[in-house]
Amino acid sequence: MFTRIIKPLQYLIKNYLDLLLFYAFIVSIPFGKRHIFNLSESTLGGQFIEWKAFSLYLSDIVFILMLLFWITRIFTIQYKKTKYKCQIKYQKINIYYFVIIIVIFLLLSLLSVIQSDYLSLSFYKYVKLIEVSILFIFIIKNISSIPRLITSLFCFAFAGLIQSIIAILQFIYQHSLNLHIFGEQVISPDKLNVAKIYIDGERIIRAYGTMPHANVLGGYLFVSIIISAALLFISTLNKPINRNVPRGTFFEKYCHKMFHVEQSPYLAILSHKYFQSIIFLIITIQFIGFILTFSFSAYIALPLSLMIFSIIYIIIPKNNIRNFYSKFKRIFISNAYLYIFIIFIFILTIIIFIPQISSKITNINNVDDYPVIGRIDSIKAAYTMLLASPEFGTGPGTFTLEMRNLSEYSGVLDYWKINPVHNVLLLVAAELGITCLLLLILLIISLIVRSYIALDKAIFPDNILLSTFIVILIGIFIIFQLDHYFWTIQQGFLSLWLIISLTAVSFTHLKRI
């Protein structure tokens, strides 16, 4: 028995260790475990300042290992080049279009680094840009089949489940869970600079997970919930395949095909009723964790992105609308009891936490929870920096330092007010210049538009995957206008570029099942 298990695992480790590490990398993204190289220089008034830190995260280490084993595989094993050939009829997409945008973005960012007044900090942030660019190339070259893409999404959903469980326990106990080994923040109602809500004068902490802030967890769980819902749709609509294989060979064939190409028994697994029940449970737990973050940017992004996608989808020909409703009807009828249960849980959760949510709104001007004045000041500072250097900005990662140097803010800002502007578009324009801002917008809009075009003639499960990424990118773009963590925080930044990369491969060259 052990031989039958060990032998396929040995095969995987020998031939696909880089891919296994990629899946581990996805799971490691939300964990904040890291080493800070310049801890003393990153403190002000005895308090740690995130925006000045040079950090090596657990996810960075996993990424480096993944990259090393990928390079090793390229030079030691016969490497089959992936043909950038779209499998959707009448859809001619050249992935190099996106590569060119990213390369130009990197070159312009380098010019911004060179003229920065804080060269070491800007160079560190530039290395992060190179990291996600390499991630983009790795995904393009290796996530070459739908099984691999769905496995990647399942890893993201699994990581979201772990974060949700931690978040629920943090809210119940109202303090951190001593998971510092995984990068958990030290949080409590009495600790300064911890996100809280107020009910009848009582401080109640918001759920953090292992993220640096509750808002980051809210955005991450928004993405995870949409992905989990997509897995549920694929599971429900998928037709099971024949599982009859020779005795003693199933596991090995499963491993080989799951990590290679063409056909995969993952279809049968996804169609199993227990798998669907598990996904329902995952979504329920994630939604509860999502509510407990009390992140209004994520609260807004979830329904609004779905609403915008629905409006866009109406533009598609009517026969697709009929197919959509017929598939939705099939999903609901075949799992009616589960849907009724999960809807009940959602409504019950919202009802239970109405006092906390309303308290968050009524206490929006509380300086310890939602510094509105500070956000307005940072917006003014962003425009000042943009007007001073519109071509290349002030340099990557320098916004907070440059803001303190402005005459109207010099020496008057407390440490907790030192935050990047809560608008990614303004932040990119201020730090990297107008051209880089336009390139970032072009990249995201191009991904949404091309996914929309591909969706018109996509077949299962491409249509589900494309719809998923459109909704997520719309939601992220909404959050761009309200917060900065998808650009400034490790967990948000890697999640953003992971979604960008997976979206690019979803309509370019995925091999059919």
Average per-residue pLDDT in the chain? 78
Tell me which of 261 and 125 has the higher pLDDT. Answer: 125
Cα of 463 vs its chain's centroid, Å:
20
* Sequence-distant (≥ 6) Cβ neighbours of residue 445 within 8 angstroms: none
Q: What's the pLDDT score for residue 367?
A: 44
- Region 499-509: mean pLDDT is 84
Note the pLDDT tens digit of each residue in 264-289.
445 556 666 677 788 888 998 999 99
Q: Helix or strand or coil: residue 43? A: strand
- Residue 341's CB: how many other CB atoms inside 10 A? 14
Q: How confident is the model at residue 347 (pLDDT cuts 50, 70, 90)?
A: low
Cα separation of 410 and 128, whole Å?
29
Structure tokens at 227: 């992905």
Q: What's the pLDDT score for residue 329?
A: 54
Domain membership flag for residue 21: no
CB 159 within 8 A of CB 25: no
Q: How confident is the model at residue 449 (pLDDT cuts 50, 70, 90)?
A: confident
Domain membership flag for residue 39: no
- Region 252-262: mean pLDDT is 40
- Whether 229 shows a pLDDT value over 70: the answer reads yes
- Residues 242, 267, single domain; the answer is yes
- Whether 437 shows a pLDDT value over 80: the answer reads yes
- Region 240-246: mean pLDDT is 45
- Residues 408, 454, single domain; the answer is yes
Domain membership flag for residue 27: no
Lowest mean pLDDT across 83-87, 144-148, 258-262, 332-336? 258-262
- Region 118-130: mean pLDDT is 93
Q: Total structural domains in the chain? A: 2
Domain membership flag for residue 383: yes
End-of-domain residue from the set 301, 318, 351: 351
- Whether 10 shows a pLDDT value over 90: the answer reads no
Question: Which burial class, exposed, middle or buried, applies to 215 when counting CB atoms under 10 A from its CB (0-12, 13-18, 19+)?
Answer: buried
Q: What's the pLDDT score for residue 134?
A: 95
* Helical (H) or strand (E) element with 57: strand 55-57
Cα separation of 85 and 432, whole Å?
34
Please give the DSSP secondary-structure letter assigned to residue 48: E
- Whether 339 shows a pLDDT value over 60: the answer reads no
End-of-domain residue from the set 297, 317, 351: 351
Cα distances (angstroms) measured from residue 180 to each of 34, 305, 495, 507: 10, 34, 22, 40
Tell me which of 500 and 378 has the higher pLDDT. Answer: 500
Domain membership flag for residue 192: no
Please give the DSSP secondary-structure letter assigned to residue 243: -
**Residue showing tokens 């072009």:** 442
End-of-domain residue from the set 284, 316, 351: 351
The model carries a pTM of 0.83
Cα separation of 17 and 15, whole Å?
6
Q: How many residues does the chain have?
A: 513
14 phi and psi, to 5 degrees?
A: -70, -40
Beta bridge partners of 145: 511
Q: Which long-range contacts (CB under 8 A, 24 or more apart) does 84-88 make?
A: 84/140, 84/508, 84/509, 85/509, 86/454, 86/507, 86/508, 86/509, 87/462, 87/509, 87/510, 87/511, 87/512, 88/454, 88/457, 88/458, 88/459, 88/462, 88/507
- Transcribe 329-393 into DSSP letters: HHHHHHTHHHHHHHHHHHHHHHHHTHHHHHHHHHTTT-TTT--HHHHHHHHHHHHHHHHH-TTT-
- Residues 322, 236, single domain; the answer is yes
Lowest mean pLDDT across 58-67, 351-360, 383-392? 351-360
Structure tokens at 168: 């629920």
Note the pLDDT tens digit of each residue in 168-223.
999 999 888 989 899 898 888 888 778 888 777 788 899 999 999 999 999 999 99
Cα distances (angstroms) measured from residue 326 to each of 12, 331, 457: 40, 9, 17
Cα separation of 29 and 493, whole Å?
10
Q: How confident is the model at residue 233 (pLDDT cuts 50, 70, 90)?
A: confident
Q: What's the pLDDT score for residue 138?
A: 93
- Residues 159, 276, single domain; the answer is yes
Structural domain containing residue 441:
80-144+371-513
- Nearest CA to 448 among 512, 509, 510, 506? 506
- Residues 249, 266, single domain; the answer is yes
CB 190 within 8 A of CB 203: yes
- Region 337-341: mean pLDDT is 57
Cα distances (angstroms) measured from residue 19 to each of 28, 30, 36, 263, 497: 14, 19, 28, 18, 17
Q: How confident is the model at residue 463 (pLDDT cuts 50, 70, 90)?
A: confident
- Residue 273's CB: how many other CB atoms inside 10 A? 12
Q: What's the pLDDT score for residue 332?
A: 55
- Residues 401, 301, single domain; the answer is no
- Whether 226 shows a pLDDT value over 90: the answer reads yes
Q: What's the pLDDT score for residue 309?
A: 84
Q: What's the pLDDT score for residue 62?
A: 96
Cα separation of 19 and 155, whole Å?
12
Structure tokens at 133: 């660019």
- Residues 310, 164, single domain; the answer is yes
* Sequence-distant (≥ 6) Cβ neighbours of residue 189 within 8 angstroms: 174, 175, 196, 202, 203, 204, 205
Note the pLDDT tens digit of each residue in 349-374.
566 555 555 555 555 444 444 456 66
Q: What's the pLDDT score for residue 263?
A: 42
How are beta strands 34-36 and 47-48 bridged, if at all? Answer: unpaired
Domain membership flag for residue 494: yes
Structure tokens at 76: 């030691």
- Residues 396, 501, single domain; the answer is yes
Domain membership flag for residue 364: no
- Region 295-324: mean pLDDT is 74
In this structure, what is the dihedral angle of CA atoms 67, 69, 75, 79, given to the nearest 10 degrees? -90
- Residue 288's CB: how many other CB atoms inside 10 A? 22
- Nearest CA to 212 among 494, 490, 501? 490
Cα separation of 135 and 28, whole Å?
14
- Residues 151, 138, single domain; the answer is no
Lowest mean pLDDT across 21-25, 133-137, 354-358, 427-431? 354-358
- Residues 165, 87, single domain; the answer is no
- Residues 286, 409, single domain; the answer is no
Q: What's the pLDDT score for residue 406?
A: 73
- Residues 114, 251, single domain; the answer is no
Domain membership flag for residue 17: no
Q: What's the pLDDT score for residue 354?
A: 59
- Transcribe 98-163 into DSSP letters: HHHHHHHHHHHHHHHHHT-SSHHHHHHHHHHHHHHHHHHHHHHHH--BHHHHHHHHHHHHHHHHHH
